Structure 1
Amino acid sequence: MGIGYVVIALSFVGICHGLDMSRLQPYNFTAEIMFIVEDLDQDGIMTVAEIDTVFAQYDTNGDGKESRHEYTAFICAADPALYQISHYLYDAYDVNGDHKLDLVDYEGFHNNMDSNNDGLLNMEEFVAYWVALLTSIESVGNHQHGQSHEHGAPACHT
């Protein structure tokens, strides 16, 4: 899910001069595409196991955790234009705020999206969560939040 979700679905633009979120609009459509891509068994429900599977691809050293550096490097390899937003997303995924992504965070992120708390994440819940998240990123994007949290992650090379 690590855009995981957005990396797979779409690309972003505007690395150096604030965030240009226009290519992601309308956000509900972007979120629907992300859900379809990340619902690995295509049953209309995203489980914690599916989220775990998606996040596992970011763990490049296989230690069960993704550092900001690993996450950002993976995102940048997929699309350098995602560099700045990758920091916003990393912070959103780091549910417990310990500066590493692991199963606790993935399950917490799944729970955050599961608005009716039934343990099953459907498209409606997923879309509502992502629309709110992307809108919040857009509203703070011009403050360069992502660049202030680089923590040694390499800049993407275009």
Structure 2
Amino acid sequence: MSEPSAGDPGALAARLAVLPDEQLLAVLVVATAGRENLAPLYEAATRLLSETGQSAPASGVIPGTPVGGGYGTAPDLDSSAQVGGGIGTGAGQHPGAGGGAGGYTGSGVPTFGSVRDKVERRIGTAFGARALDRQSRAGRGADQQWEAREQAARERLEQIRTSLHEGEGS
């Protein structure tokens, strides 16, 4: 069987399992921030993180991201939430356009945050559907068929190689 890919939930779980508790909680806080269905998990992770003496990372900031000055500090600059602002929050926009209703600027351009959220939702849906498919009877059957075909292909390739090497010995 092959090594799990980076998108494999099992591989991700293995990588998360080696993190110290504080780092894992920080990752959970960031990963669940702003997700309505995961609000209880977010609150629990935030509470546990504060009990360890750590402060919860700012929403949308990857744990371990250095907080540096100079980026996005001017009020008229459009900057990402990662560095202290929010795309679409600069001058010349109507209130609530930045990340609020619709996620569009005053001129009708989608904000970076709204596009990122949409992409993250689609990726999450795709991974969830894949995980559910693999847990279903049909998904397991398809995996077994794939493995059987792969095994048959390996065996046939070995037969071809053997027959080629027999011809060389003559």
User: Do both share a fold (TM > 0.5)?
Assistant: no
Q: TM-score, normalised by structure 1?
A: 0.22
Structure with the larger RCO, 1 or 2 (CA within 8 Å, 6+ apart): 1
Q: TM-score, normalised by structure 2?
A: 0.21
Which protein has the larger Cα radius of gyration, Structure 1 or Structure 2? 2
